[in-house]
Amino acid sequence: MFNNPKKITIFLTNGNPMGLKTIEMGNWSGKAISTPRNRLKDFFSRPEALQSAVYFLLSLEPEESGLHKVYIGKANNIKERIIDHDYKKDFWQTAIAFFGGNIEYLENKCLEMAIKEKRCILENTYNAKPRKLAEAEEAEANEYLYNLSILMSALGYPILSPSMKEEEIIEQKEDGGSLFFCKGVGVYAKGRQVDGGFEVLKDSTVSISEPTLESSKKLKGFLIEEKIIELDSVLKNHYIFTRDYIFNSLSSASNIILSYANNGRDKWRDSDGKTLEELEKGE
């Protein structure tokens, strides 16, 4: 998990926070450039555009499932590859390129992480293929990957961020903090607030009923299709989370679990029975 302080420098090349920007990190030789699609001409005029890079094409707005569409690739000449994507791919509005790393290794590790975490809708038509490096080179590449993941999250796309580890969940239980519970007819879920959303933990249960909200219906369909939730093989009267999963909000999570529209701040309670809303008010 991310726990080391980092200094990130974001330079707005034309003063527009939604325009082209460069991103650098203290004590790191790598560099990233984020550009909106309508500013590709500005990006192509930069010397970095002729360099090799691992890159992400991203939809600006999330889909109805709450997830962004993403394409992950590598290029020896990023300008040529982006020009091709600009002609052939319609879904994306933002491109983020990372320079200075081992692009073959990084592309495959990023694909592997994105597939594992399921925090985006991948537009790639191929899966990750393991790349072996010498021990020292792999350590260096993994350090680059760690910083890349941090910067993607800092830019608003936490698609590579790992879920909470089991030992960290146990530690939080022992400390008596941060875990919340959502109960309904025949269902029981537990989760916690995380940066960028709310994480429902593995083995939480979900109502078998069809959600009342259209957006929840689509999200539930995605969760079933990706086998993030599966029908209880014995009782067959509810779904079960097969892994931890991060929702965009408390309500998005509780709407899925209970299958009706509700306010998550009223439905998620701590071990003493207090809702999140009550805790925030200090009641």
123 and 19 in a common domain: yes
Contact 204, 241 (CB under 8 A): yes
Instruction: Give SS3 for 136.
Output: helix
Do 19 and 77 share a domain, yes or no? yes
114 and 214 inside one domain: no
* Domain-located, residue 159: no
Q: pLDDT digit string (tens) for 14-44? A: 999 899 999 999 989 899 999 999 999 999 9
Residues 239 and 264 in one domain: yes
Domain-embedded: residue 209: yes
pLDDT confidence of residue 135: 92
Q: In angstroms, rounded to a whole number, what is the distance separating the alpha carbons of residues 26 and 244?
A: 32
Number of domains present in the structure of the chain: 2
- 150 part of a folded domain: yes
Give CA–CA dist 19/37, Å, rounded. Answer: 9
Q: Which of 97, 120, 154 marks a domain boundary?
A: 154
Please give the angle made by the CA atoms of 201, 107 and 16, to the nearest 5 degrees.
85
CA dist 252 and 268 (Å) reads 12
* Reported confidence tier of residue 163, pLDDT bands at 50, 70, 90: low
- Alpha-carbon distance of 266 to 277, in angstroms, equals 6
**Inside any domain, residue 122:** yes
Do residues 92 and 187 both lie within one domain? no
Are 222 and 275 contained in the same domain?
yes
* Any domain includes 2: no
Domain boundary among 154, 187, 210: 154
pLDDT in tens, 198-237: 899 999 999 999 999 888 898 899 899 889 999 998 888 9
CA dihedral 120, 105, 23, 93 (to 10 degrees): -40
Domain identity same for 74 and 138: yes
Q: What is the extent of the structural domain holding 140?
A: 8-154
Judge whether 125 lies within some domain.
yes
pLDDT value, residue 116:
86
122 in the same domain as 191? no
pLDDT in tens, 77-132: 999 999 999 999 999 999 999 999 999 999 999 999 998 888 888 999 877 777 78
